[in-house]
Amino acid sequence: VFEKVPGAPEDVIFALTSAHKADPFPNKVNLGVGAYRTEEGKPWVLPVVKKAARIMVNDDSLDHEYLPILGQDAFRKAATQLILGADSKALKEGRVGSAQCISGTGAVFTGAQFLARHYPIKGATCYISKPTWANHRAIFEGVGFTVFEYPYWDAKTKGLDLKGMLIIMEMAPAGSIFLLHPCAHNPTGVDPTPDQWRQIADVMAAKNHFAFFDCAYQGFASGDLDKDAFSVRYFVERGFELFVAQSFSKNFGLYSERAGNLTIVAKTPKIKDQIESQIAKAQRAVISNPPAYGSRIVSLVLSDKDLYQEWNQNLKSMANRIIEMRRLLFNELTRLKTPGSWNHIVDQIGMFSFTGLSAPQVKVLKEKYHVYLTDNGRISMAGLNTKNVQYFAQAVDDVVRN
């Protein structure tokens, strides 16, 4: 019956991981997937996560019963506090809702699906940054939205195209949905400054646009959880109703455990309840209820003062190693006098650097040097370490010159 089903293309980032794995070349480098790696090039189980897991193993009160449809209460509470700040006025006013979801991806989907069904402005479209994480378009189109792009990356300055972004925000029909990265933008590593966020909020408020933040890297941008939440908290302070999809894949290293949360800031407690009830109804039909393991680790760490402190240290060590790799790569390219300016390597923020390398250059990196990265020139900084950064810089120098 399925003869006519066309094959679908592979996910490019997962395909890079497979290609790298299959490559026998000893000095191969994987700068594809946005997953943290140690100086030894290995995945890192955060020590605080190991500690929490040991506590859980010995906790006889834990079982494998179903969680509630909207997930574990302690996790939802801790996650919303983490992003909004424990002293958030909206939290105190009882108008913040939440749903535990299948990690950040599930939280974006859950929010998008709710908007597709209940957003009151008929025919509203969704705007995503150009460029953005490929799944944003897939998810919003998947639930039926027409998706447009707003300018974000300025190839000339290798920085933010704030002017272009604001013009499109002004031109978009009132009440459009804007998907925003609160920090550590994927793939560009370029974030608005606090003052630029104020300008973005001004236009969004004037046009009555809806802000949907996708927060996959809280703590990864600056190493400071509060600083990285500035944009979201500022929008809440300004009185926006908004959604925040939160992922704990990167900042807890819990990639495969699918710990995520959708934070909902509503106008009133009653509206919050209405939204939560619809999300519960929808979630039941998709996953019935979310998984417990990752969310238990997160809530345990977030609710214990000592574990929280230790997590902050673990987080800082990841952020600092990435910053160190930016500096090493920049120094190496400078030493080699590689043509072009490379300041953006150290200026960009978070897991990724958008190098400005072209697709043909990326192809040579892969075929001649066994260095794997996406065609748009994005590199995952954590894939670099003191043993391969020179090799990578040399390879970049070669492709830029030839």
**Smaller CB separation from ligand TYF, 36 or 342:** 36
Tokens in use for 313? Answer: 């240290």
Beta-carbon neighbour count of residue 65 at 10 Å? 7
Nearest to 247, CA basis, from 222, 221, 214, 282: 214
| Binding status of residue 186 toward ligand PLP by CB under 6 A | yes
| Binding status of residue 218 toward ligand PLP by CB under 6 A | no
| Binding status of residue 245 toward ligand TYF by CB under 6 A | no
Cβ of residue 35: shortest distance to ligand TYF, in angstroms? 7
Cβ of residue 189: shortest distance to ligand PLP, in angstroms? 11
Q: Which of 28, 51, 133, 191 is an active site residue?
A: 133
Tell me whether residue 59 is one of the annotated catalytic residues: no
| Calpha distance 382→350 (Å, rounded) | 10
Helices 47-57 and 305-335, packing angle to 10 deg:
150
| Antiparallel, parallel or unpaired: β 259-265 and 242-247 | antiparallel
Binding residue for ligand PLP (CB under 6 A) from 98, 188, 231, 249?
249
| Calpha distance 161→149 (Å, rounded) | 13
| Calpha distance 81→123 (Å, rounded) | 33
The position carrying tokens 């804007």 is 178
| Binding status of residue 133 toward ligand TYF by CB under 6 A | yes
| Calpha distance 251→225 (Å, rounded) | 10
Cβ of residue 140: shortest distance to ligand PLP, in angstroms? 12
Q: Which does 214 bind (CB under 5 to 8 A by kind): ligand PLP, ligand TYF, none?
A: ligand PLP
Nearest to 135, CA basis, from 248, 34, 256: 34
| Calpha distance 205→211 (Å, rounded) | 10
The contact mask relative to ligand TYF for 28-57 (x = CB under 6 A, - = no) is -----xx-----------------------
**Smaller CB separation from ligand PLP, 225 or 396:** 225
Nearest to 261, CA basis, from 227, 302, 314: 302
The contact mask relative to ligand PLP for 82-121 (x = CB under 6 A, - = no) is ---------------------xxx----------------
Per rule CB under 6 A, count of chain residues that contact ligand TYF: 7
Cβ of residue 133: shortest distance to ligand TYF, in angstroms? 5
The contact mask relative to ligand PLP for 24-63 (x = CB under 6 A, - = no) is ----------x-----------------------------
Is 238 within 8 Å of 283 (Cβ atoms)?
no
Backbone dihedral angles phi then psi of residue 222, each to the nearest 5 degrees: -110, -10
Q: Which does 103 bind (CB under 5 to 8 A by kind): ligand TYF, ligand PLP, none?
A: ligand PLP
Q: Tell me the C-alpha to C-alpha distance, in Å, between residue 154 and each of 22, 50, 188, 210, 345.
A: 35, 41, 10, 24, 15
Cβ of residue 361: shortest distance to ligand PLP, in angstroms? 23
Q: Kindly report the CA angle at 57 between 53 and 63, in degrees rounded to 5? A: 110
Binding residue for ligand PLP (CB under 6 A) from 216, 244, 279, 328?
216
Tell me whether residue 250 is one of the annotated catalytic residues: yes
| Binding status of residue 392 toward ligand PLP by CB under 6 A | no
| Calpha distance 297→56 (Å, rounded) | 8
Q: Kindly report the CA angle at 207 between 202 and 213, in degrees rounded to 5? A: 70
**Smaller CB separation from ligand TYF, 133 or 392:** 133
Q: Residue numbers of the site for ligand PLP (CB under 6 A)?
A: 34, 103-105, 133, 181, 186, 214, 216, 247, 249, 255, 260
Q: Residue numbers of the site for ligand TYF (CB under 6 A)?
A: 11, 13, 33-34, 133, 135, 186
Active site residues: 133, 214, 250
